[in-house]
């Protein structure tokens, strides 16, 4: 009977998850046109922050409850899942075009954030409060860059255009509702799926680190996964790319920075020698993949999926 209940809860979570993803993609793409902002910027900011909300909540709660392994495993595992699983599946659905600005600005920033995390953890055997403040300063710098990018986009006549039908205010309110309801649906749906899956995993005797780096990491990446799949299906590839890149930046600079500013995290030697380098190398691999042909092809998506499968096989 408990197994059946967990399966029902899981199915309800899936429904909320993909319903929320559809609302978030639909609303954010329309708002991008309304405010004359490139969809990529919306993906890097509003969508990325919205889909990173579960990682933020899970990591903060885990750290405050004295479970730093879950918080650390969640951030590392989520970034690996975003770079390989989420982007890989989205590319299999539809090849993803990558813009020149993204290759020159946001992707290098994402790689630099992962490298900063690796270096800080490696030389300090953990991430201290000072390290957390450094990461938060990096988040402030990234936010400033996105603000300038938004101003530049609004000055571009190429981005001018209507936002659906009807009056401007109705359009704004409707699509703001879609974004808000979409984020709530993503958070609620992912929580249902995480709770049911985590209960089964603990009953099977799986360790806290493995739960954090696999089940919880994938679970909290479900909003990114659902949003990117829906965005790829709707041909909103800029939102898809921006969501993955922005989420990986947010996870390190904002989430890890906030968590460690509250409570420093010790990093086990095994994590320093495998999971953190794997996270950095996977994110680094995205640059040559994206730069060749300025897209992520279906074949490259399959490569990313196979690498994610290899990573998981080394953990369990």
| Number of domains forming the structure of the chain | 1
- Tell me if 181 is assigned to some domain: no
Question: Are 240 and 102 a contacting pair, CB within 8 Å?
Answer: no
Residue 239 maps to a domain: yes
Nearest Cα residue to 188 out of 6, 5, 15: 15
Q: Which DSSP letter does residue 103 get?
A: I
Q: Which pLDDT belongs to residue 159?
A: 46
Q: Confirm whether 212 is domain-assigned.
A: yes
Which single residue is written with the structure tokens 């909320």? 16
Q: What is the pLDDT of residues 150-185, one digit of tens each?
A: 776 655 544 445 454 556 778 788 888 988 888 888
Paired residues of 60 in beta bridges: none
What pLDDT is recorded for position 208?
57
Answer whether residue 242 is part of any domain.
yes
What does the alpha-carbon distance between residue 136 and residue 130 come to, in Å, rounded to a whole number? Answer: 10
Domain of residue 57 covers: 39-157+206-315
Residue 279 lies in a domain: yes
CA dihedral sign of residues 244, 89, 15, 218: negative
Predicted TM-score (pTM) of this structure: 0.80
**What is residue 216's predicted lDDT score, i.e. its pLDDT?**
63
Q: Note down pLDDT in tens along the chain; length 316 residues.
A: 476 787 788 778 878 877 887 787 778 777 777 777 777 777 777 777 777 776 777 777 777 777 766 778 778 888 999 999 999 999 999 999 998 888 888 899 999 999 999 999 988 778 889 999 999 999 999 988 887 777 766 555 444 454 545 567 787 888 889 888 888 887 788 778 767 766 766 666 666 556 656 666 666 677 788 888 888 888 888 888 988 999 899 999 998 998 888 888 888 888 889 999 999 999 999 999 999 888 999 999 999 999 999 988 887 6
For residue 78, tell me if it sits in a domain.
yes
Burial of 303 (0-12, 13-18, 19+ CB in 10 A): middle
Taking alpha carbons only, the member of 87, 99, 134, 102 closest to residue 229 is: 87
Q: What 3-state class would DSSP assign to 167?
A: coil
Distances from the Cα of 74 to the Cαs of 55, 127, 230, in angstroms? Answer: 7, 15, 23
Query: DSSP readout, 213-261?
Result: IIIIHHHHTHHHHHHHHHHHHTT-HHHHHHHHHHHHHHIIIIIIHHHHH
Render pLDDT for 245-299 as a digit per residue (tens, 0 to 9): 998 999 999 989 988 888 888 888 888 899 999 999 999 999 999 998 889 999 9
Query: How far is the C-alpha of 144 from the C-alpha of 132, rounded, in Å?
Result: 19
Angle at 136 between CA 131 and CA 142, to 5 degrees: 130
DSSP string, 76-96: HHHHHIIIIIIHHHHHHHS-E
CATH number for the domain harbouring residue 56: 1.20.1420.30
Answer yes or no: is 1 within a domain. no
- Closest C-alpha to 186, from 224, 235, 217, 214: 224
In a domain, 87, yes or no: yes
């Amino acid at each position: 009977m408990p197994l059946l209940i967990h399966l029902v809860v899981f199915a309800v979570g899936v429904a909320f998850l993909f319903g929320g993803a559809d609302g978030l993609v639909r609303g954010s793409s329309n708002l991008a046109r309304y405010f004359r902002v490139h969809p990529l910027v919306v993906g890097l900011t509003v969508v990325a922050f919205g889909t990173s909300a579960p990682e933020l909540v899970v990591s903060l709660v885990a750290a405050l409850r004295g479970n730093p392994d879950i918080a650390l495993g969640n951030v590392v595992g989520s970034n690996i899942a975003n770079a390989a699983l989420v982007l890989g599946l989205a590319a299999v659905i539809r090849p993803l075009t990558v813009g020149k600005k993204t290759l020159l600005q946001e992707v290098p920033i994402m790689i630099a954030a992962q490298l900063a995390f690796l270096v800080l953890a490696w030389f300090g055997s953990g991430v201290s409060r000072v390290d957390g403040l450094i990461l938060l300063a990096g988040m402030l710098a990234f936010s400033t860059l996105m603000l300038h990018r938004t101003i530049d986009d609004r000055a571009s006549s190429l981005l001018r255009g209507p936002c659906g039908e009807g009056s401007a205010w109705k359009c704004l309110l409707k699509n703001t509702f879609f974004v808000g309801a979409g984020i709530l649906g993503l958070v609620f749906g992912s929580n249902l799926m995480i709770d049911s899956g985590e209960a089964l995993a603990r009953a099977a005797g799986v360790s806290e680190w493995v739960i954090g780096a696999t089940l919880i990491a994938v679970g909290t990446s479900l909003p990114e996964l659902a949003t990117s799949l829906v965005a790829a299906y709707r041909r909103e590839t800029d939102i898809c790319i921006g969501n993955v890149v922005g989420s990986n930046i947010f996870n390190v600079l904002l989430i890890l920075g906030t968590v460690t500013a509250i409570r420093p995290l010790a990093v086990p030697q095994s994590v320093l020698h495998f999971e953190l380098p794997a996270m950095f190398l996977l994110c680094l691999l995205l640059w040559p993949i994206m730069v060749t042909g300025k897209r992520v092809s279906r074949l490259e998506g399959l490569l990313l999926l196979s690498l994610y499968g290899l990573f998981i096989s080394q953990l369990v």
